[in-house]
């Protein structure tokens, strides 16, 4: 089943352009001219994206609110179409992830929708399940089961008897085509009287998630595969985050992976988008909540430092939307211990218009000390 979008717009010229752009990207379009009709559809059908002409802001707010409250569409990507009188912050406050500006620009809109489509696929793929039968071992008790399906977030199994553990369980299974067993932890999310059990994976390492993603992507139907990573240009780097330029940035709260190659070795770092400037770039905070993330980040930063003075080729791909961007645990402690001027800029100057923020970014570059805990590197 292909990606679907719901478009609320009564301007036929805009609708024609949207149909052409989305058709080129293999995204289906259902159009509504009235808000009530759109809201009815949102309660009955699933859409990967909802596009709203925000000429009437009150109507737009009502529709975006309906998107978030509809169980089948609360993870849909929200796109706002605005004119010059509607500020970027106002569009995001209404609930939009992406913003398209009037007057119509086919190429600019298509660039924005490429990023939106990549995120749409990731959001749908996170919970999409691949049917598969393979042995699964509950390691702690030596109990065996047979898998029914598998996703990045969990799996369903058929079990002769329900496991006695109520907390995290250690699981082991070998994916078809692989010789190495995956060992990870999961917890019971649901179970039936017939012995079927739904297991939610917990505390997956970056490498374990990468292996699952690769296998699922290789075995997904042709139209369900992830979009390839896109190239971006690194302009500013600190120990806590970076700013990258690209024409199709991802929205705030997007989990992303940045990668580059050094001596034929790929290094990767997990990040979270903290601010986004449409058609320009985005500010990313590095994630280091787990030991695996910290090790990956150290390798990534070392690779970039090694190439200082050259323009490193970076690739970025979305992992999905974060539901809670608040810092907790180790991340919050680290933020208190290490002053990071680039992250401070992301936090304190996020409300500025794009050009004003870029001006602050340039000003910060010129004023930085060489304290290794405060350094901001310009490429």
Render pLDDT for 275-296 as a digit per residue (tens, 0 to 9).
Answer: 999 889 999 999 987 777 888 8
The reported pLDDT for the residue numbered 222 is: 64
Q: What is the pTM of this model?
A: 0.77
Give the residue carrying structure tokens 């907390």: 167
The reported pLDDT for the residue numbered 93 is: 87
User: 130-219 has which CATH code?
Assistant: 2.40.10.220
- What does the mean pLDDT of the chain come to? 85
Distance CA 278, CA 108 (A): 10
What digits encode the pLDDT tens for the residues 45-93?
999 999 999 999 999 999 999 999 998 898 899 999 998 666 667 888 8
Beta bridge partners of 312: none
The reported pLDDT for the residue numbered 379 is: 47
Backbone angles phi, psi at 316, to 5 degrees: -135, 140
The reported pLDDT for the residue numbered 329 is: 41
The reported pLDDT for the residue numbered 156 is: 93
**In terms of Cα–Cα distance, which of 331, 361, 352 is closest to 240?**
331
Distance CA 123, CA 336 (A): 32
Beta bridge partners of 237: 242, 377
E strand spans, 33-181:
49-53, 77-82, 98-101, 130-131, 135-138, 143-150, 154-158, 169-173
E strand spans, the chain:
3-8, 27-32, 49-53, 77-82, 98-101, 130-131, 135-138, 143-150, 154-158, 169-173, 182-191, 196-202, 230-237, 241-245, 254-262, 265-277, 281-286, 313-321, 377-378
Asked if 255 and 318 count as a contact pair (C-beta separation under 8 A), the reply is: yes
Pair of tokens at residue 187 = 């917890």
Give the fold, CATH level 3, of 3-126: Rossmann fold (3.40.50)
Distance CA 75, CA 69 (A): 10
Domain boundaries, the chain: 3-126, 130-219, 230-378
pLDDT tens for each residue of the chain, 379 residues long? 589 999 999 999 999 999 999 999 999 999 999 999 999 999 999 999 999 999 999 999 999 999 999 988 988 999 999 986 666 678 888 889 999 988 888 998 998 999 999 999 888 877 678 899 999 998 766 688 999 999 888 999 998 877 666 678 889 999 998 888 899 999 888 888 888 999 989 878 777 888 888 888 888 776 567 888 999 999 998 989 999 999 999 999 999 999 988 777 788 899 999 999 988 999 999 998 777 788 888 888 888 877 655 666 799 999 888 865 444 444 444 444 557 899 999 999 988 889 999 999 999 887 764 343 344 555 4
The reported pLDDT for the residue numbered 116 is: 93
């Amino acid at each position: 089943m292909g990606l679907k979008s719901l478009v609320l717009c009564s301007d036929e010229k805009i609708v024609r352009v949207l149909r052409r752009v989305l058709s080129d990207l293999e995204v289906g379009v259902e159009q509504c001219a009235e808000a009530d009709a759109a809201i009815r559809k949102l309660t009955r059908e699933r859409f990967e994206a909802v596009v709203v002409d925000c000429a009437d802001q009150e109507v737009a707010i009502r529709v975006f609110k309906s998107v978030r409250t509809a169980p089948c569409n609360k993870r849909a990507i929200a796109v706002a179409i605005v004119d010059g009188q509607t500020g970027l912050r106002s569009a995001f406050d209404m609930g939009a992830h992406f913003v398209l500006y009037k007057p119509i620009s086919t190429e600019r809109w298509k660039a924005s929708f490429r990023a939106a489509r990549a995120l749409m696929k990731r959001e749908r793929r996170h919970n999409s399940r691949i049917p598969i039968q393979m042995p699964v071992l509950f390691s702690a008790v030596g109990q065996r089961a047979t898998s029914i399906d598998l996703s990045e977030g969990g799996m369903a199994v058929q079990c002769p008897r329900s496991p006695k553990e109520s907390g995290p369980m250690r699981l082991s299974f070998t994916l078809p085509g692989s010789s190495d067993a995956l060992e990870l932890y999961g917890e019971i999310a649901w179970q039936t009287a017939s012995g079927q059990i739904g297991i939610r994976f917990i505390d997956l390492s970056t490498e374990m998630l990468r292996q699952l993603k690769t296998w699922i992507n290789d075995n997904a139907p042709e139209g369900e595969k992830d979009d390839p990573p896109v190239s971006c240009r690194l302009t500013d780097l600190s120990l806590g985050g970076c700013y990258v330029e690209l024409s199709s940035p991802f929205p705030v709260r997007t989990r992303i992976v940045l990668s580059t190659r050094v001596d034929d070795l790929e290094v990767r770092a997990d990040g979270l988008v903290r601010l986004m400037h449409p058609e320009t770039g985005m500010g990313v905070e590095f994630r280091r909540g787990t030991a695996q993330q910290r090790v990956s980040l150290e390798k990534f930063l070392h690779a970039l430092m090694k190439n200082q003075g050259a323009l490193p080729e970076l690739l970025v791909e979305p992992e999905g939307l974060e539901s809670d961007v608040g810092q907790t645990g180790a991340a919050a402690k680290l933020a208190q211990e290490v002053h990071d001027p680039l992250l401070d800029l992301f936090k304190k100057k996020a409300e500025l218009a794009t050009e004003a923020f870029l001006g602050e970014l340039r000003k910060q570059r010129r004023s930085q000390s060489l304290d290794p805990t405060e350094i901001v590197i310009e490429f």
